[in-house]
Amino acid sequence: MRRNRFAIVALFLGLATAAEIARADEAAAWSALRAGRHVALMRHADAPGGFGDPPGFRVEDCATQRNLSAKGRADAKRTGARLKSEGIAVEQILASPWCRCMDTATLLELGPVETAPTFGNVVVLRDQTEALTAGARAVIGKWNGLGNLLVVTHGANISALTGISPASGEIVVVRGGNAGGVEPVGRLLLD
């Protein structure tokens, strides 16, 4: 009985600690974005169907890909509205050429969206993972804008860059202009 109580107390303390870490991580992300000069790596919003795409998909044909759900479209709009309400300066928006990424980036309504093939899906393009990741690191390393660079890409790409596996719609904020690597400073899950 005593062990059970100890286990329950330890569980609650662990949950409280995890919640505190998440709040600190979120505060660091907001602070970095308000300061500018950072890169926000956003995983596309909710697109049901697992990882990758159906057999025979084509990047140029959205009908052959996994696409955003109604929830994903609504979440993307809410995320954009929240970033605007927080006064976050987004200077440039890049997105993977996959439709779910381009659609997420467009629905944010934060500015024009440019296609960035180096942020293409490393799950599907696994034979190009090293080259795509190196290209993405170079884009992040060269970022020196006064505002922030927002990149909408895939969870596996963000994981390859940062070691963090984000949820759909989650943003991992990293330092821009850091030629030495991709350094996460915080995370935001806004849905």
CA–CA separation, 172 and 40 (whole Å): 6
Q: Is 3.40.50.720 the CATH classification of the domain at 2-188?
A: no
**Domain limits, the chain:** 2-188
Nearest Cα to 122, choosing from 141, 149, 92, 101? Answer: 101
- Min mean pLDDT across 2-6, 9-13, 61-65, 122-126 is at 9-13
Model pLDDT for residues 1-44, shown as the tens digit of each residue: 566 665 554 444 444 444 444 556 899 999 999 999 999 999 99
Nearest Cα to 158, choosing from 179, 180, 136? Answer: 136
Sheet holding 90-95, edge to edge: 113-115, 90-95, 148-153, 38-43, 171-175, 184-188
Model pLDDT for residues 131-169, shown as the tens digit of each residue: 999 999 999 999 999 999 999 999 999 999 999 999 999
Contacts of 121 (CB under 8 A, 6+ apart): 52, 53, 96, 98, 154, 156, 157
* 128 φ/ψ angles, rounded to the nearest 5 degrees: -115, 10
Q: Please, what is the Cα angle at 162 between 17 and 10, to 5 degrees? A: 15
Residue of 68 and 5 predicted with greater confidence: 68
* 175 φ/ψ angles, rounded to the nearest 5 degrees: -70, 135
Is pTM beyond 0.85? Reply is: yes
- The residues pairing with 153 across neighbouring beta strands, listed in sequence order, are 43
